């Protein structure tokens, strides 16, 4: 068996240690014929099996989780999985192949496979008596993830909407039927929670609101990876039970459940900080009753699980552990929550209608806190990358971008220690995005956006000032630029459609 897949998207070694990368068919005169030939190559049984291997190496629990590994592998081997789902796996994983990077027609071939899968999904949904099932939901969600990575935010949003609608029609927002096998029930849950995560992450910006409402989700949160793989019944709590404790106690939550809960908090922050909600205008942000301070108090309570006092132990056994990747992701999102909620630009926008004088004591802490969390986020990605830990989530590009904007501003700080540390961290932000951009198209756009901002960051250093003297208002051009930098949707949208 020959392999098209690498051990790493950044390496040139073959996925199968002793298997050479096969020669691709010679280019034909008609480009359509070339694409058809490559489509056949990338979707045959061998390539589909290799796509499965790559999925569990680079995509499972990054942060989305859909499949019980051993049973799904068996179903793929016996060809009981819908073809559109295996095609969706090929579409998502082909970017990790050396063959695709060497193939000038790779992107067009991938899109041809994606369109084939999409047409099959639409046929299953609207032209069959059976209609969609949870496998259809999984395939649609995988294609939506692909669209985001490829900077096709609008198309991705359509697919998220369809996946959510199918999930609702299948009543996946409540506990799965008891007559289903234990592994299938947990796959149902994880599929729904994966759509929820994608929905929440996709709306981290100005103009999109989530499809799902927390109060409507009555199913259990994901169980531990160990319980899932061993097919043990789930005793995980529901989202509502965590609402009852104000999200403060995460001790009973699995790593995947913690990802769900901290991502839910990030979505609320996006609503308060980025979507300029008018519901809170009668509050001042330092008032204990403001949404800003309520969310900030929740983040403080999360520090027990994600703060410096709770480090992640790194060992040889967990450098390839997908369960471990969820712990890393939850910690990164925790730091991102602080970065967005207390971003210098966000604070300045929320201060602009208030008298600046009373903010003197309050302003120092959130500006310093956002810088500290930007440093922690940057260091976590840098350390995890150099330790060989699984940090393949495409959303990490956005995390590095946001922390990078804070580091860029503080690289012009009057405090020498802060300035030097910020400059070092900023170099790491750029380097991380450079590597990420080799695999993810939206990371390439984010890299360009950050590099452009770095060139002009000094002109916006007033955002980190705590002194009202000589302070100036945020210009319309600055606001537009910084809103764009903090908008995941815009950063995952092509400039020209």
pLDDT score, position 49: 85
In the block, residue with structure tokens 């929440």: 200
Tell me the average pLDDT across 408-413. 96
pLDDT score, position 31: 42
Quote the Cα angle for 195-277-208, to 5°: 30
pLDDT score, position 106: 80
User: Does position 360 have pLDDT exceeding 70, yes or no?
Assistant: no
Tell me the average pLDDT across 342-357. 71
Q: What tokens does 439 get?
A: 């695999």
pLDDT score, position 328: 92
Neighbours of 77 (CB within 10 A): 12
Tell me the average pLDDT across 103-112. 83
Confidence of residue 303 (pLDDT cuts 50, 70, 90): confident
Question: Which residues does 258 contact at the CB level (< 8 Å), separation at least 6?
Answer: 250, 305, 326, 327, 330
Top mean pLDDT of 246-255, 409-418, 487-496 is at 409-418
pLDDT score, position 404: 98
Question: Which residues does 116 contact at the CB level (< 8 Å), separation at least 6?
Answer: 39, 84, 87
User: Does position 227 have pLDDT exceeding 50, yes or no?
Assistant: yes
For 317-329, the pLDDT digits (tens) are 454 466 788 999 9
Cα-atom radius of gyration of the chain, to the nearest Å?
A: 23
Question: Which residues does 272 contact at the CB level (< 8 Å), separation at least 6?
Answer: 280, 291, 292, 295, 341
For 429-461, the pLDDT digits (tens) are 999 999 999 999 999 999 999 999 999 999 999
Q: Pick the more confident residue, 253 or 283.
A: 253
For 236-260, the pLDDT digits (tens) are 889 888 776 655 567 778 999 999 9
Confidence of residue 294 (pLDDT cuts 50, 70, 90): confident
Range in 17-31, 234-248, 360-374 with the lowest mean pLDDT: 17-31
User: Does position 363 have pLDDT exceeding 80, yes or no?
Assistant: no
Tell me the average pLDDT across 177-204. 96
Q: Pick the more confident residue, 25 or 255.
A: 255
Tell me the average pLDDT across 465-481. 77
Tell me the average pLDDT across 198-209. 89
Confidence of residue 98 (pLDDT cuts 50, 70, 90): confident
User: Does position 403 have pLDDT exceeding 60, yes or no?
Assistant: yes
What percent of the chain lies above the pLDDT cut of 90?
Answer: 57
Give the Cα separation of 88 and 465 in Å (integer): 48
pLDDT score, position 192: 98
Whole-prediction pTM value?
Answer: 0.88
Tell me the average pLDDT across 463-473. 70
Top mean pLDDT of 106-115, 135-144, 225-234 is at 135-144
What percent of the chain lies above the pLDDT cut of 70?
Answer: 79
Q: What does the mean pLDDT of the chain come to?
A: 83
SS (H, E, C) the chain: CCCCEECCCCCCCECCCCCCCCCCCCCCCCHHHHHHHHHHHHCCHHHHHHHHHHHHHHCCCCCCCCCCHHHHHHHHHCCCCCHHHHHHHHHHHHHHEHHHHHCCCHHHHHHHHHHHHHHHHHHHHHCCCCCCCHHHHHHHHHHHHHHHHCCEHHHHHHHHHHHHHHHHHCCCCCCCCCCCCHHHHHHHHHHHHHHHHHHHHHCCCCCCCCCCCHHHCCCECCCCHHHHHCCCCCCCCEHHHHHHCCCCCCCCCCHHHHHHHHHHHHHHHHHHHHCCCCCCCCCCCCCCCCHHHHHHHHHHHHHHHHCCCCCCCCCHHHCCCHHHHHHHHHHHHHHHHHHHHCCHHHHHHHHCCCCCHHHHHHHHHHHHHHHHHHHHHHHHHHHHHHCCCCCCCCCHHHHHHHHHHHHHHHCCCCCHHHHHHHHHHHHHHHHHHHHHCCCCHHHHHHHHHHHHHHHHHHHHHHHHCCCCCCCCCCCHHHHHHHHHHCCHHHHCECCCC
User: Does position 471 have pLDDT exceeding 80, yes or no?
Assistant: no
| Domain spans of the chain, in order of start | 1-170, 234-497
Give the Cα separation of 218 and 241 in Å (integer): 10
For 147-178, the pLDDT digits (tens) are 999 999 889 999 999 999 999 999 999 999 99
Range in 68-72, 176-180, 232-236 with the lowest mean pLDDT: 232-236
Range in 40-44, 313-317, 389-393 with the lowest mean pLDDT: 313-317
Tell me the average pLDDT across 420-434. 97
Q: At what angle do helices 255-269 and 291-306 cross, to 10 degrees?
A: 160
């Amino acid at each position: 068996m020959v392999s098209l897949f690498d051990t790493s998207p950044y390496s040139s070694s073959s996925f199968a240690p002793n298997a050479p990368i096969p020669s691709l068919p010679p280019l034909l005169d008609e480009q359509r014929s070339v694409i058809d030939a490559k489509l056949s190559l990338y979707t045959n049984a061998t390539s589909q099996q290799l796509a499965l291997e790559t999925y569990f190496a680079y995509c499972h629990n990054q942060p989305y989780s859909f499949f019980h590994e051993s049973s799904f592998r068996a179903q793929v081997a016996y060809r009981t999985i819908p073809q559109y789902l295996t095609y969706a796996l090929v579409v998502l994983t082909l970017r990790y192949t050396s063959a695709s990077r060497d193939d000038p027609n790779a992107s067009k071939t991938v899109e041809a496979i994606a369109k084939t899968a999409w047409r099959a999904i639409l046929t299953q949904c609207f032209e069959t008596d059976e209609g969609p099932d949870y496998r259809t939901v999984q395939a649609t969600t995988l294609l939506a993830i692909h669209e985001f990575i490829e900077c096709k935010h609008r198309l991705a949003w359509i697919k998220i909407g369809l996946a959510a609608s199918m999930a609702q029609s299948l009543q996946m927002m409540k506990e799965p039927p008891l007559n289903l096998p234990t592994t299938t029930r947990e796959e149902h849950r994880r599929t729904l929670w994966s759509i929820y995560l994608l929905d929440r992450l996709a709306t981290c910006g100005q103009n999109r609101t989530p499809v799902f409402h927390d109060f409507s989700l009555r199913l259990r949160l994901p169980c531990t990876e160990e319980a899932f793989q061993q097919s043990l019944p789930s005793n995980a709590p529901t989202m509502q039970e965590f609402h009852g404790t104000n999200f403060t106690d995460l001790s009973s939550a699995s790593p995947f459940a913690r990802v769900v809960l901290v991502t839910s908090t990030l979505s609320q922050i996006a609503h308060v900080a980025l979507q300029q909600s008018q519901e809170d205008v009668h509050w001042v942000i330092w008032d204990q009753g403001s949404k800003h301070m309520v969310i900030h108090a929740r983040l403080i309570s999360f520090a027990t699980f994600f703060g410096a006092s709770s480090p992640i132990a790194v060992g040889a056994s967990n450098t390839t552990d997908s369960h471990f990747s969820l712990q890393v992701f939850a910690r990164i999102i925790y730091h991102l929550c602080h970065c967005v909620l207390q971003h210098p630009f966000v604070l300045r926008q929320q201060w602009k209608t208030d008298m600046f004088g009373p903010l003197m004591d309050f302003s120092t802490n959130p500006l310093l806190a956002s810088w500290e969390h930007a440093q922690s986020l940057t260091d976590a990605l840098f350390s995890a990358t150099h330790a060989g830990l699984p940090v393949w989530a495409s959303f990490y590009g956005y995390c590095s971008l946001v922390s990078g904007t804070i580091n860029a501003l503080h690289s012009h700080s009057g405090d020498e220690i802060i300035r030097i540390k910020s400059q070092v961290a900023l170099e790491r932000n750029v380097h991380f995005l450079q590597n990420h951009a080799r695999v993810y198209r939206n990371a390439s756009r984010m890299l360009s956006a950050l590099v452009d901002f770095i060139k002009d960051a000094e002109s916006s250093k007033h955002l980190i000032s705590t002194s009202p003297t000589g302070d100036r208002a945020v210009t319309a051009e600055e606001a537009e630029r910084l809103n764009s930098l903090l908008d995941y949707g815009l950063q995952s949208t092509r400039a020209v459609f």
